[in-house]
Structure 1
Amino acid sequence: MKKIYFLLITFLTSMALSAEANYGRQTDVNGTVLDEQRKPIDYATVGLFKATDSSLVKTAMTTPDGKFNFPNVAAGSYYIKINMMGYQIYKGKSFTIAVSSLTLPEILLIANSKTLNTVSITAVKPLLERKADKMVMNVENSSVAVGSSALEVLQRAPGVTVDQNDRISMQGKQGVLIMLDGKQTYMSQADIANLLRNMQSAEIETIELITNPSSKYDASGNSGIINIKTKKAKSGGANGSFNAGMAYGKNLRGNTGLNLNYRSKSVNVFGSYNFNKGARSNRIDIDRISKGTDITYFSQKGEDDRDFENNNFKVGADFFLNKKNTIGILATGYLNSGLEKAYNKTLIGKTFSQIDSVLNSNNTQKSSYRNFAYNLNYKSVLDTTGQELSADADYSRYQGKDHAELVNELLYPNGLSVKPIGRLRNNSPSTIDIKAVKVDYTLPINKTTKFEAGIKSSWVETDNDLRAEEWKSDTWQNDVRRSNRFVYDENVNAAYANFNKQFKRTSVQLGLRVEQTNSTGNLITTNNIVKRSYWDFFPTVFVQQTLSKNNQIGFSYGRRIDRPSYDDLNPFIYYLDQYTYNKGNPFLNPQYTHNFEVSYTFMQKYFLNVHYSKVNDAITQVILPDAEQKALYQTNANIAENITYGVNLTIPVKIAKWWNINNNLNVFHLSFETPNLAGQTLKTGQTSYQVRIQNSFIIVDGLTAEFNGNYESPLVYGTLNMQSRAYADLGLSKSLLNKKASLKFAVSDVFDTNRTRLKSAYTGLDYSLYQKNETQLFRLSFSYRFGKNEVKPARRRSTGTEAEQGRMKN
């Protein structure tokens, strides 16, 4: 494998050098933008235009020193144009490039003294943008996203799917790492789904889809990273925003939020609070045939309703010690609670029509979850070349409390009791403490070469205590079969280095991340201890080649790891009823992935991505039979090999000035193979596809609309054989009050067709499952921005507790 890496890198580098030699002479154009008091103007937009036809060549933003740079500009005649809020538009005289480096005379912007009564803006930022290393979804401009949760918005992102258990996949692969503002969430999939379900779209600015991350990121997440960027204010002074909304389907839900920001030369203070309250419903039907010494038929129909109340908050400050040094503090958290009531009725017999008994199950669960996370950050700009050093210290504490009571009543078909009513209850408090420190360093060697390096250490302590009781002799008694305590400790130490080189038409990035892991899982009740200690190496390679003005091709490779989430390792059993349950697996091993991608971009708007990945010991959700209890249970297991390959194609079409369509097609083949899964060989595979068509309309100035359609073909994932599903969304958005406010209306799942149907792909297991969540919702939302319109953003920092929080459990 090392020889293959060496030959590949040698080949790609030789291609880059050859392309550079043939491209022709190019140079850098530099300049400085000042105001009338000769003070630097930062974040001004600078455009480089051809003098011959006024076509835009490149754009840049000025730095805090007012400087801008256009690298690798071909010989010719050009002019500069600068836009900045509060200043008159600047258009410079044309100039000719004929030297190796050109520095333009200082440019002075004149303050705009005119008062603008009305500003009419008809251009709309595209819903999707493709950048060098990621796809960006601009959520804040979407009317369909109005009143939606972050989880519902993710379902509309190209190549992303969310299954019936809220597991997130990208390009057909599970194991996505979710980040918020560049910070890892350190939560389990269940907790991530809960967090995203309670985050409103009004809080989100963009969603970044990073399918093959560099070595700078934690090596976890075999299918890549989804980074959700929340809204930030953009300039000096004070501003904020307020939003409120409601949605109605089968149940009513509402949300409201407030976002505030104040910035001066020496400090930036910011904070936000969001409240969400309501209810949602879910229906699940399972028909199953248990085959053993005798055949038993089970027909189960269930309904559950959950009332929820969620509070999410963030508060922080950045202190600008001087132009080069900044220290910041940040506190985030949530306080969530819920009450869930589920009713299941299971008909049991020799056939589906010949019933011997009926099992009625009532399950009531009260839950509360709280998380407080604290970050201390320091950033220093060491010199004018861009040399930077940043450090983070983090602490996060998660506490969860669940109280569940299950009542089982087994009856004859005539309604008489077969045996006394059975009652079980669980109290399962859990605590997770996370500490982390990390340091990142950036060194620009020259204008075309950059070196990055960093170190990180994290410590995680989890404590899950399941106290199960059974009602016997008119009192609650400890159930020793199910009561248990599971403690898990983990320490991960990591270091990385990235080397970036920009040639005239080619960019190359080589990286290596090294991680050392020590973990101990202790099932205290049975004194079952699992210890692990191992080293891992994660190389990355990125090559981007510009073939011509409108053609660009890229290649990337990366090796990644996914450690089991804390709830997956927890062996506790959770019952839907006595014949349907979920349990953890303390013997899960980490999974390792090799990711290969080739991308092609045409005209900066047509995108083609070809990908291949191989996962060893793939951590996979499976549904298996419990022959002894005639039950069906869900767990996670290591599948020896999982191979995925496919193509993702994005084609935007402009029908008219007022109508744009973005089409996305994702075709992929998934296969799973393992010699022994619960005593049987598993070998499954199928080619599937997903189609997403997003229509954007400008009806009149200030009034826009969207209509989106989605289709997912049948899919085989491990032991699950999932049938197709389709749904459509509709939205309208109207700007008000000089574009400071907006009113949005949307209907999600317009035709109420979004549901899950699946069967078993495991030999000998015969069941069919139907699940319908409350997906058809009518939403209305209002938002209002106040204060200064342009305030520089609060820093988006990447904390040290990113990879661990993504593995927490509700």
Structure 2
Amino acid sequence: MLYYSCRSLSGVQTAVMALLLAMPLGLRAQTTPVFTGTVRTAAGAPAEYATLSLHRPTDSVVVKTEFSAADGRFQLLAPAAGRYLVSVAQVGCQRLWLGPLEAGAAAPLTLTLLPAAATQLRGVAVDGQRPLFERLPDRTLVHVAESPLSAGSTTLDVLGRAPGLTVDAQDNLSLRGKTGLLVLLDGKRVPLTGAELANMLRSLPAEQVQELELITNPPAKYDAQGGAGIISIHLKKDQRLGTNGTANAAYGRGRYGKFTGGLSLNHRQKNLNLFGSYAYADRQNFQDLDISRTYLQDGQPTRFSEQRNTSRSHLQSHTWRAGADYTLSPRTTVGLVASGLASRLPSQGLNLADFSNTDGQLTNTLTARNNRDLRTPNAAGVLSLRHQFAQDSLGTPELTADLDAARYGLGRRLDLLTTYPLRSQNNTNRLLGDQNGTLWLSSAKADYVRNLRGRLRLEAGAKASRVASDNDVLFEREQDGQRQTDTGLTNRFRYTETIGAGYASLTRTRPGLTLTGGLRGEYTRTDGRQDVGGQQFRRRYFQLFPNLSLSRPLTAHHELTLALSRRLDRPTYNQLNPFRSYLDPTSYRVGNPALWPQTSTRVELTHTFKEKYSTGLNYTRTHRPILSVYRLDAQGLVAATDVNLPNQDYWALTLAAPLEPAKWWKLYADAELFYIRFQGQLEGQPLPAAQPGAILGLTNSFKLPHGWSAELNGRYNSLERYGYQLVRAFAQVGAGVQKSVGPATFRLNAADVFYTLPMRVSARYQPLAESYRTAQDSRIITASFTYRFGNAKVAAARRAKSGAEDEKRRAGGVQ
């Protein structure tokens, strides 16, 4: 075991420490043990840009990659305590292996590279192929770039196939049966939810995504937002020197066509890296929605309705990203990234509805044509700084900082023309809506990390963010060619949210125990105001979010991890926005300005066998859970909205098993058995009895002869009771093959082969009982082509990372 001595801090480090430690200090979850050392050539010179890899000792799978600095020094942070293999490689040299070594306990390593024939590089390139899914104690990794099924798909499609993730009929995401997720794109918060988030994820081609992290126990470094966890999306980054690029195109066909195409370019030299990418998507879709409703009074039926809604949409989107990293000195790097999304989603819908009385007699009918047009011009920019202080006997202290700004635009137009054939007079009604909205997001954050005496590791940081939303909507009604403003629906809603946060954490690593604890404090200030009526609300609150993680190996093959945390879900601006979004003449969505945040306390015990097989037990208690419900308004229309209930209890058993039945066949099986119980009632209507549910997944990866590979994926969601809703079982099966020929890769896949994704849902409330079935264009066959060009034989270089990327690295994720 190596024991370190303490060296005094420099003046800059002392100032940084004083600033950061002035914040609430405590213990936090999940940091990582480290391997350090130096790489040299056979002649004794420092080896710059050598590739250092950390491998699991059981199957040599790569779990971390870094690159040596100009002076040959490196730092490899392990995902968790334990034993690992370490390898180093560089073009023209033999790959060198060491270990297994104990993470955090090994002395600084001195690695010497020996010359080798160039032909040996080919063997290195195919070594250590990663599986599609990896289960770690606090997260699941989804290696999107490795999947043949990702070709031609959207990021939303990929999420729908990920372990434990579900996309419901309203395009809401849930993880392990729980809603309330924080979505990050390259470390940056995406402040969209529901249909708008789904449209953004549909506009992002899966070809641009390197991997996903599904983080169920986030460390204190992350925002407290997201009671169910975090979905962290990491885009592809080219690490090769020189000028390189990738071009891709894919065409899929279900009922309608779907095209995606893109180009990425990267130019890297010693101190400068320039990069950019562009993607275009043209995807047509349909939605069939059949609704049966029973209207109630005192629990007895008063009338019935049968509706059939059909719509066709056409998404066209342009996604771009450009940036630069510049090395100011061997220890300091700055980066600038700008990105944007411009999408348009017009749709044409037809609604047919029949209304009848309790005797089954037809009382009314309607025919409606619903034309909608959604535009979302979005743009974002981030300026980042990374500075490494002078290395001492304890390691290399590091400071990262980010400044972010983003603008999300929204333009929504509605033209709803309704005809009532049974009425003799005024049998048409036309409603026109024009909504314009802008969402501004800005933030600044700094993070500091260093090793201390006694095998302790400190991380601390601060963040300030502000969200400002301005929505203006005009509704008009037209009769006999004359338009008149509907003053009951027209309004303007402005909302601001300001958050100040600070955190600190300590980790102590010993051979038989890793203990990590942290404390995050957040002060939140929100204000909302409607121009019409002058209604407004204010929220001011400060909350602490402690977390604790304890990991202990019991034997050489068994390890236990205990994690406790507290998290928060603030209502989104859409959930608070009182504007109406019409589905058809009888239904609309409306926000609830009276919503309060929900807070969750979670405890999870995870057992890992042979560093591969994982079993977890977890319990979550949520106070003031936010639940989507249906109500009847004064006009008898069905309003979908959100309410707070008193409490929610969640129990779950999770299982994950990566298997290898044969050398050419890898299998990943995962299961989630859960039980969700809400407490409370709505308008005097008690909640139905809770019942257990399950999410099962099986992914097969095949390595076939002559350079072919294949994937077969299946997921099953059992019948589930969630609040007042009962969701029937649904499933999906996908299959794909791929072959690489030099720099080109061909892929062919089929999604939802048996068309089992259509969803059936039923619910009963005090004034209403409803059941519906919804289906989309999910059964698709896609062919794709990807071509990589440029200086592929030059060794990978260490690219300057933003603070967000370092956040991921220090939190223990795989890069």
User: TM-score, length-normalised on structure 1?
Assistant: 0.88
Which of 641, 644, 649 is 1:638 aligned to?
644
Query: Structure 1 pair 251/317, CA: closer, same or farther in 2 (3 Å)?
Result: same
- Contact 1:183–1:798, Cα closer than 8 Å, also in 2: no
Please, which of 572, 586, 595 is the counterpart of residue 579 of structure 2?
572
- Contact 2:386–2:803 under 8 Å retained in 1: no
Structure 1 equivalent of residue 716 of structure 2: 711
Q: 1:178-210: per-residue Cα shift (whole Å, max 9, x none)? A: 111222112223322111111111111111111
Q: Residue type of the partner of 1:309?
A: Q
1:127 aligns with 2:137: no
For residues 335 and 464 of structure 2, the distance between their equivalents in structure 1, rounded to whole angstroms, comes to: 20
What amino acid is aligned across from residue 342 of structure 2 in structure 1? L
Change (3 A) 1:58 1:646: closer
SS at structure 2 position matched to 1:321: strand
**Which of 403, 407, 414 is the equivalent residue of 1:393?**
403
SS of the equivalent of 2:426 reads coil
Corresponding letter in the other structure for 1:389: L
In the alignment, the residues of structure 2 paired with residue 56 and residue 521 of structure 1 have an alpha-carbon distance, to the nearest angstrom, of: 50
- What is the distance in 2 between the residues matched to 1:558 and 1:392? 26
1:688–1:715 contact (8 Å) kept in structure 2: yes
* 1:227-255 deviation digits (Å, cap 9, x = unpaired): 11111111322211111001111111101
**CA contact under 8 A between 1:233 and 1:793: conserved in structure 2?**
no
Which residue number in structure 1 is paired with residue 220 of structure 2?
Answer: 215
Segment of structure 1 superposing worse, 365-374 or 114-123:
114-123
Q: Does 1:534 align with 2:537?
A: no
Amino acid aligned to 1:753: T
CA offsets 1:302-349 (integer angstroms, 9 cap, x no match): 101111110111111111001100111111111111211111100111
Secondary structure of the corresponding residue to residue 191 of structure 1 = helix
The structural deviation recorded for 1:523 is 1.0
Question: Unaligned regions of 5+ residues in structure 1, if any?
Answer: 1-8, 13-25, 73-77, 803-810
Number of the residue aligned with 1:206 = 211
Q: 2:413 aligns with which of 376, 399, 403?
A: 403
Deviations 1:150-181 (A, max 9, x none): 11111111111111111111111001111112
Contact 1:30/1:70, CA 8 A, preserved across alignment: no
Q: Is the 8 A contact 1:573 1:582 kept in 2?
A: yes
CA distance in 2, matches of 1:714, 1:582: 25
Contact map agreement 2:334 2:800 (CA 8 A) in 1: no
Structure 1 residue corresponding to 2:512, chosen from 505, 508, 516:
505
Please state how far the C-alpha of 1:768 moved relative to its aligned partner. Answer: 1.1
Hey, what's the Cα distance between the residues in 1 that align with 2:645 and 2:752? 34
Amino acid at match of 1:741: A
1:369 and 2:372 matched = no
The equivalent position to 1:378 in structure 2, one of 385, 396, 408, is 385
SS at match of 2:646: strand
1:85, distance to aligned residue in structure 2 (A): 3.5
- Aligned twin of 1:771: 774
Paired with 2:460 and 2:425, the residues of 1 have a C-alpha distance of 68
C-alpha distance in structure 2 between counterparts of 1:108 and 1:283, whole Å: 62
Matched, 1:148 2:158: no
Structure 1 residues 589 and 29: CA distance shift in structure 2, 3 A:
closer
**Is the aligned partner of 1:655 residue 2:661?**
yes
Q: Choose from 259, 272, 279 the match for 2:277.
A: 272
Q: Are the equivalent residues in 2 in contact too, given 1:470–1:479 (CA < 8 A)?
A: yes
Give the alignment's Cα RMSD to 1 decimal. 3.2
One-letter code aligned to 1:399: G
Q: Which amino acid aligns with 2:225?
A: S
How much does 1:716 deviate? 1.1
Mapped pair 1:496 → 2:503: yes
Q: Is the 8 A contact 2:180 2:226 kept in 1?
A: yes
Name the residue aligned to 1:350: 357
Alignment match of 1:752 (pick from 747, 750, 755): 755
SS of residue paired to 2:201: helix
How far apart in 2 are the matches of 1:378 and 1:102? 30
CA distance, structure 2, for counterparts of residue 243 and residue 57 of structure 1: 26
Q: Does 1:44 align with 2:51?
A: yes
Greater shift, 418-427 or 337-346, is seen at 418-427
Q: CA deviation at 1:28?
A: 8.6
Per-residue Cα deviation, 1:416-462 (whole angstroms, up to 9, x for no partner): 64633100100000011222111111122148321111111112211
CA distance in 1, matches of 2:506, 2:125: 45
For 1:336 and 1:583, the matched residues in 2 are separated by 24
| 2:744 matched residue in structure 1 | 741
SS state at 2:150 partner: coil
What are the ranges of 5 or more consecutive residues in structure 2 without an aligned counterpart?
1-26, 79-83, 808-815
Distance (Å, rounded) in 2 between the aligned partners of 1:572 and 1:283: 25
Give the match for residue 19 of structure 1: none
Say if 1:47 and 1:225 are closer, same or farther in 2 by CA, change over 3 A. Answer: closer
2:303 aligned residue (282, 289, 296):
296
Please state whether the residue corresponding to 2:207 is helix, strand or coil: helix
Check if 1:89 corresponds to 2:95.
yes
Indicate the SS of the match to 1:548.
Answer: coil
Task: For 1:625 and 1:356, locate their aligned partners in 2 and report how far apart those are by CA, in whole Å.
Answer: 19
> Which structure 2 residues correspond to residues 654-693 of structure 1 after superposition, within 5 A?
654-675=660-681, 677-682=682-687, 684-693=689-698
Q: Kindly, what percent of the aligned residue pairs are identical?
A: 30
| Aligned position for 2:427 | 420
What secondary structure sits across from 1:629 in the alignment? coil
1:308 to 308, 312, 315: 315
Which of 240, 247, 252 is 2:252 aligned to?
A: 247
1:121–1:701 contact (8 Å) kept in structure 2: no
Equivalent residue, structure 2, for 1:326 = 333
Distance 2:266 2:85 in 1: 37
- Structure 1 pair 255/559, CA: closer, same or farther in 2 (3 Å)? same
How many angstroms apart in 2 are the aligned matches of 1:252 and 1:280?
8
Distance 1:54 1:747 in 2: 30
- For residues 410 and 36 of structure 2, the distance between their equivalents in structure 1, rounded to whole angstroms, comes to 56
The 1:242/1:682 distance shift into structure 2, 3 A limit, reads: same
Letter paired with 2:756: T
SS in 1 for 2:420: strand
Distance across 2 between alignment mates of 1:283 and 1:58: 43
Q: Is the CA contact (8 Å cut-off) linking 1:169 and 1:223 kept in structure 2?
A: yes
Total equivalences in the alignment: 763
Which residue identity lines up with residue 787 of structure 2 in the other structure?
Y
Q: What is the letter of the counterpart of residue 771 of structure 1? A: T
* Structure 1 residue 388, shift from structure 2 partner: 0.9
CA distance in 2, matches of 1:779, 1:27: 43
Distance, in Å, in 1 between the alignment partners of 2:523 and 2:465 is 11
Give the match's secondary structure for 1:341: strand
SS in 2 for 1:526: coil
- Shift in Å, 1:713: 0.7
Q: 1:498-547 CA deviation, whole Å, 9 max, x = no partner?
A: 11111112111111111111111001111001011111111010111122
Deviations 1:119-161 (A, max 9, x none): 9948642111233532111111111222111111111111111
Looking at structure 2, the residues matched to 170 and 551 of structure 1 have their Cα atoms a distance apart, in angstroms, of 27
Q: Secondary structure in 2 aligned to 1:212? A: coil
1:43-90 deviations in whole A, cap 9, x for unaligned? 43367999xx99999998564243467999xxxxx9986433332334
Which amino acid in structure 2 is aligned with residue 150 of structure 1?
T
- Name the counterpart of 1:20: none
- CA–CA distance in structure 2, aligned partners of residues 751 and 270 of structure 1: 41
Q: How does 1:102-117 map to 2 (within 5 A)?
A: 107-110=112-115, 112-113=117-118
Matched-pair contact (CA < 8 Å) for 1:60–1:69: no
Matched AA of 2:770 = Y
Distance 1:81 1:405, change over 3 A: closer
